[in-house]
Structures are given as C-alpha cells and as structure tokens.
Structure 1
Amino acid sequence: MTKTPAKPAPKKRKKRAAPTLGPEKTARLFAALAEDRPAPKTELEYHNPYTLVVAVALSAQATDVGVNKATKKLFKVADTPEKMLELGEEGVAEHIKTIGLWRNKAKNVIALSQLLVDEYGGKVPETREELTKLPGVGRKTANVVLNEAFGHETIAVDTHIFRVSNRTGLAPGKTPDEVEAQLERVTPDEFRKGAHHWLILHGRYVCTARKPKCWDCVIADICKFKDKTPDPARKAKTSDLGPKGP
C-alpha cells in the first residue's frame, strides 16, 4: 500500500515590526514630550557619579522609590568607593535589605567599589566599555550613568522605553538592543540628550503597561497604538445619562 506523502508544515510567517513614524511625526512626538516635561531627569537620588552607579545598579528589578528609601541612609555614610569598602558587604546588605536581590547586589556594590579603587583611582570612568566592566553594571546601567552624570546622548532601554517605542511606532524592535539601535537612528539631534528621560517618564506615568492613559497623552494623535484606552470620566458620564429612548 502506497503511503501518501505527508504535507510539509506551513511556514510560519514572520511578524513584521510596526513601521516607524517617519521624520516629521518623530520630531513632533519628541517636541510634544519636551513641552510636557521641559526639565526631565532621573528619579533616582544620588550625590555624585559614584552614588549614581550604585543607585542604578540597585534599581534592577526594583522601583526608584524603593531604592531611594534604601540609599538615603546608605549614601550618608558611604558616598565614595573607599567609604563603601569600609562599610563592607554586611554593612551594605543591612541598608538594602528592602530591595529585591539584596544579597547579590551587596556583593556587586563592594566588588565594583574595589575595582574603581584598584583600577580607576576611585573615579567613575566615562566610557561604556569601562563602565560595563564593573560588577552589576550592564549596558543599560552604563547608558544611564553616561547620560545623567556625564551628559552623553545615550538612551538606556528599560521596560518603559521598550513599551513606548513599540506601541507608538517610534522605534519598534523585538529586543532592547534593537529598540536602542532604532532610537539612535531616528531621534533628532536636538532631542537626543533628553530622549531617555522623556520616554521613560512617559511610559512610567502615562503609557503604562496595563491601562495606558491615552485620554491624557500629549502624543495620542501621533501614536500608532490601536487599542487606545477611552477616558473613564467620559464613560462614567455617559452611563449616568441612563438608557436611550422613551
């Protein structure tokens, strides 16, 4: 009996990234965000480039509010690598126990402090390559430090920036690295310094993960997100009118 040859499995279609907004709309988007938040900055509290490195490293899988509560006392006693080494791993751990992954983070803080003292004279280096050599410091942390502490035009793609970039069509990508590369390509020169802060703050407070506040969004007319959230106040007002008809 001749067997019927099995049909080849259908090829899965690759999902195409959403098209970018184009230069004119991209410029309008950043202009609107800039007008909405004229002086954007990180919400992490720090005293100098070193404490910024520590704060950003501690913020992985933690909120800025939670990190600030922990570092408020920590930075009063240890705002340099040398002082942090004097405090020791156990001392650091006692200050950051309220932060997720605090044991491993305490080890990294001591290790990066030791490296800064041994190889950089206690000073924070100003290149991404050198920053990412520090324990607990990845590309995202390095970009934040370069932007905030040294004024470099870097963009650190976190979950908020990743979401906003994809939802709006500004810089679609499947990975943070892809989104970063897209943002580097499309962001107009005059907005490059503040782009990181505008996007992260917009994602944190307006373009939130579950229910974006589309009715209160300054770039809603530009954004390509299809399932825009309706204004709950208008919905409530409509429901108060009762059923239509006699």
Structure 2
Amino acid sequence: MNNFDSGAVTFIDVLGWKGIWARKNSQSPIEKLKRIVENVNVEIQSIITSLIDRVPELHGLDAKSVSILNISDTIVIITKGDAVATICLHGEISKRILTDGLLSELPMRGATSYGEFSHEDLTFMGPAVDEAAAWHEVTNWVGIILTPSALLKLKTPKESWISYQKVPYKSADIRIGKSLVLNWAAEWSKRGKQADDFREISYLAGPLLPEVGKYYLNALDFLEEVTT
C-alpha cells in the first residue's frame, strides 16, 4: 500500500470507564492515565536497551520510533519496524502500562496486531489499526492478547508473550487453540505483588456486578495459573 508503513499497533482501553468518575479518590482517572503514559514514555529507551541482547531485531529502533497516544480511555502504541522486534517491544511496554493501571485502580485490556498502517500526529489508519481496534475488546478479563496477524508473525512464545489456553473470549465463535497473551504476571511479581494483592484490588473495585466481576476473576485465574 502507498504511504503505509509496517509495524506493531496496540490498543489498550480502561475497563469500566463509564462511571469511573464517581469513585472517591484523590486523583482523577484522567490524571492517572496521563501519568501512566508519561511514566512509560520515560522508560522506552531503557526497555529497548534491556531487550536488545535477546531481541537483536531491535537494532535501529530507539525511543523516537515509538508513539504512545492517549485518547479518552484508550492508549494506542504504534511502532514501525520488524515484526519480532516491535511485537516484543510492545509486550514490554504494555505489561508496565497494565500493571501501573491495576495499581492505579484502572484495569485494562487490549490487543496487539502487526501489519500496515499510516500514522501522523493523532491520526492513524490501516489494516493493523483496524485489526487491533476490532480485537482489543473481545475478551472478558484484565489482559492483552495478540491478534491473528501478530500470532502469525511471532509464531511461538517470546519475551513477554506466553501461550495460554483459557483466554475468556466474549464469543464462543472465537476459538484460538494457542493464543499468545501478555505475561503481565511477571511484572506484577517483579513489583513485589502477589495474588492476594490482586484479590484486594479487585475487592475494592466493588460492587463487582456480573459485567465487572468477570474481568477480575478471569484475570485472577490467569495470574494464579502462570505464577504457580
């Protein structure tokens, strides 16, 4: 396609954004989300440096290669480059965002795709954008999945992406035997957190009505399975 680049695109949105303003806390959700994006932007170069020995395809990429946009309740990450490099980089960035979100009472879910896109300022379009946008809301949990295009490119678990057989897709029509998902549990443990900490965060997010409780309980199942 003319004027299109190839790379990874990640969409991450905050669960339960409607009505989130009613929660009583000292900082507004908008301020929290802005801080999360600012913090991870500062870390991008160090993330690349920490990965480059294990993912040599990252050579040639730097912090300027990555765009992280915050639009309402959605964070969009866009990086032009090699499939393995950009998908692995998005995984490292995303697990920090998701963990920071949980610790800031902003549970998130999302999806990472790979393909062609066009991006300028706050405007982005193309197949990879459409795919990430379509898949980032298909699950009932706190977590991030690889879309079919990214699965076909990464092929096997690598870095922050692990195989998980029990992804809670909203529709029974979606059957992916070997889904690759973000191992945010590794970052959770790295921060000194355990399953009990997640239970407490989930409890405090109540009332856990059916449309909300399922996200936390499915994420807890994932956390317990990959950390035992």
For the aligned pair, the TM-score class normalised by the smaller chain equals under 0.3
More strand by share: 2
Larger radius of gyration: 1
Larger RCO (CA under 8 A, 6+ residues apart): 2
More helix by share: 1
* TM-score normalised by length of structure 2: 0.25
* TM-score normalised by length of structure 1: 0.24
